[in-house]
Each structure stands twice: as structure tokens, then as C-alpha cells.
Amino acid sequence: EVQLVESGGGLIKPGGSLRLSCAASGFTFSNAWMSWVRQAPGKGLEWVGRIKRKSDGGTTDYAAPVKGRFTISRDDSKNTLYLQMNSLNTEDTAIYYCTTFYSSNWYGSYFDLWGRGTLVTVSS
Amino acid sequence: DIQMTHSPSSLSASVGDRVTITCRASQSITNYLNWYQQKPGKAPKLLIYAASNLQSGVPSRFSGSGSGTDFTLTISSLQPEDFATYYCQQSYSTPYTFGQGTKLEIK
């Protein structure tokens, strides 16, 4: 079965750090571009960042609110995507979704496979 | 950043109705527009990519159209399982931005 399963969420104090994981199965993870999207409680969707596959350079790109604080990485040997989150603040409270990210010149880019998400709550 | 605006923000409709949701971009995004459906407590699901392409497994009652700045998602005959929140998303440039969503409720 093709799936993404996030883990690592929880309650963290402001200023703290947390690492989320996303375990992929059912597809060739090393060929996939991956992304994180978050959703604050009762709010809309916000793109967090993206990592290319290693054969495309493995580079990352981030949204402004998280740039310099969050780092996306991948371990293709473990079929796992990571999101290292530092200097967390209350505005980072959200469900964090792991997604596959398809990109082409013809169709643009889109988030085609989503995990169920993991909740991160930043509160004192 | 490119701003995406849904219209309306919420909509009440009945089973069997034809429903159209509109999304407007703050600048031209050619056809780089995607639509997602999200049900309460669930992850979003991709419905339409590149403005008018139906994702595999999505029922044919869903369709998308538009280019440039104005886009529409149409559900030809609402089914009970279609009551959800719908989001548009542009992939023309980073940061990839979503609209605020349109909540489709049962009348």
C-alpha cells in the first residue's frame, strides 16, 4: 500500500526543538520530491518546504516564516523524510503533513500523496 | 507572494445540485493551479492538477477550468460524500500558496 506516516509531534515549549519523521512505503522514495505542509487549528493550509530527490541535487526550499529555523532532510536508505524544527513559537502550532511533490514544466507542481499528519503544539 | 482568493468562502447546497467554486490569483499563474478536498479530521486529497486534469481515482463529476488568474472547480451533481472544504493552490512560484478554502455544507 502506498502511504506516508508521520510521527514525532507533541507538546513543546516556546523556543524548543522537535524533529518530525515521515515513513514512506509502497513507492520508490528515493525517486520522489517531498514536501511538508501544515495547518494551524481551524485554519487553512500552508506550505512549509520541499526537498528534491538526490539525483536532482537534493536541494531544499522553505517558506519565509520557517526559513532559518526549520530543516528538511531525507534518508533514502530508511525511506524516511524529516523536519527538524528549532526556535519554535506558538504560531508553529499546527498539524504537519508529509506529502509527495510532483513537479513538471507541463503540469506545474502539486502535492499528490498525503500522510495523516502529526500535531505539534507549542505552548508554555 | 501570490495571493489566492476563494469565492464564496462557504456555500450551502443540496445533493444533486451543480456547484461551482471560484479561485482568483493575485497575478497570472498560467494553468499552474491545483484543487484539493479536505474532510474534517482528514488529510487533504488532490482532485485536480494543472487547472483541468483529473487526478486518478477522482470521480468524473469533478472538473476544473480556467487559466491566467481565474479558475473554477465544478461538481456536476453533488453527492453526500462531497460535503467538505475545498482549497485551490498555485504552483507558479514559491512560496506555493493556498486559498483560504470554500466550505461546502449541506442545505
Encode pLDDT of A49-66 as tens digits.
999 999 999 999 999 999
Q: Name the residue of chain A whose CA is nearest to B57's CA.
A: A112
Contacts of B43 in chain A (CB under 8 A): 97, 114-117
Confidence bin at A106 (pLDDT 50/70/90): confident
SS3 annotation, chain A = CCEEEEECCEEECCCCCEEEEEEEECCCHHHCEEEEEEECCCCCEEEEEEECCHHHCCCEEECCCCCCCEEEEEECCCCEEEEEECCCCHHHCEEEEEEEEEEECCCEEEEEEECCCEEEEECC
* Candidates B33, B46, B96; nearest CB to A112: B46
Q: Express each pLDDT in A5-53 by its tens digit.
A: 999 999 999 999 999 999 999 999 999 999 999 999 999 999 999 999 9
- With 90 as the cut, is the pLDDT of residue A104 above it? no
The shortest CB-CB distance from B43 to any of A47, A106, A115 is to: A115
> B-side interface with A, Cβ within 8 Å?
30-34, 36, 38, 42-46, 49-50, 53, 55, 87, 89, 91-92, 94-101
Query: From A111, which residue of chain B is nearest by alpha-carbon distance?
Result: B46
